[in-house]
Amino acid sequence: MTLASIQSRLAQAVTDAGRDAGGVKLIAVSKVQPADRVRSVLEQGQRVFGENRVQEAFGRWPDFQAEFDGIELHLIGPLQTNKLNRALELFQAIHSLDRESLARKLSQAVQNRGRCPTLFVQVNTGREPQKAGIDPDGLDRFLDSCRTEFDLPIYGLMAIPPADEDPVPHFRMLRECAARNGLEGLSMGMSGDFETAIACGATHVRVGSAIFGERATPGP
Ligand SMILES: *Cc1c(COP(=O)(O)O)cnc(C)c1O
């Protein structure tokens, strides 16, 4: 696969869904990928990338940012509160806001810095015990406290459906949760199902292996 073929599949899916071109952002998930593959995708013009570890992202993105203009980085993996300030230095968007303690710390950090990244609340649509994310039943209350208690502007919702299930009910659930709460952003869809996610309303798709090739070590 190449970036160009993913871009054209994405464009086709947007057209098939009767949606506006430009309504879906492609996040190229570069976690664990060797630097030469990332460089090649940068050279093909891609500027929006996803990483799932703060430390790993710091290992290479400052150098790429010195070399390429307009890079936009999205944190799509779990965020520990002790890495929060580091994360805010590097990432323009965080897709993994998943608990009250993090919202509280984030709120303080955002006030100190005077600017806020684009925020997505992660929802555990499959209610999987081992998976991060807010339980769907507690979501409305959590969003409410983000607004009223923490003064955090939430842009959208993010989900990773259970690996062995049809993703469609999960994508639909996420869309309904967003609509009910007046949220615009829907971060859903990966290499195997991004076209389906676009049909279900995704605004951000997170595509890794289909662009870069298989990862040498499995991502968490
Ligand atoms: C790794 C990862 C992706 C990309 O997965 P692919 O199947 O390689 O496209 C998307 N979202 C999250 C949260 C990930 O951790």
Does 56 map to a domain? Answer: yes
- Ligand 1 geometric centre to CA of 111 (Å): 30
- Ligand 1 geometric centre to CA of 189 (Å): 8
Does 217 map to a domain? Answer: no
Q: Which of 26, 206, 211 maximizes ligand 1 atoms within 8 Å of its Cβ, making it the mutation to test the pocket?
A: 206
Does 154 map to a domain? Answer: yes
Does 62 map to a domain? Answer: yes
**Residue the block writes with tokens 């607004």:** 147
Does 107 map to a domain? Answer: yes
Query: For the residues 166-174, what does the mean pLDDT come to?
Result: 98
Query: Within 6 Å (CB) of ligand 1, which residues are found?
Result: 29, 31, 52, 76-77, 160, 190-191, 206-210, 219
* C-alpha distances in Å from residue 186, one per residue of 2, 71, 95, 128, 193: 24, 21, 10, 20, 14
Q: Which of 174, 190, 209 maximizes ligand 1 atoms within 8 Å of its Cβ, making it the mutation to test the pocket?
A: 190
Q: Using one digit for the tens of pLDDT, what is the confidence trace for 14-61?
A: 999 999 989 999 999 999 999 999 999 999 999 999 999 999 999 999
Structurally, the chain folds into a number of domains equal to: 1
Domain ranges, residue 137: 3-212
One-letter identity of residue 139: L
Does 220 map to a domain? Answer: no
Does 137 map to a domain? Answer: yes
> Is the per-residue pLDDT at 218 higher than 60?
no
CATH number of the domain within which 170 lies? 3.20.20.10
Query: What pTM value is reported for the model?
Result: 0.96
- Ligand 1 geometric centre to CA of 124 (Å): 15
Does 135 map to a domain? Answer: yes
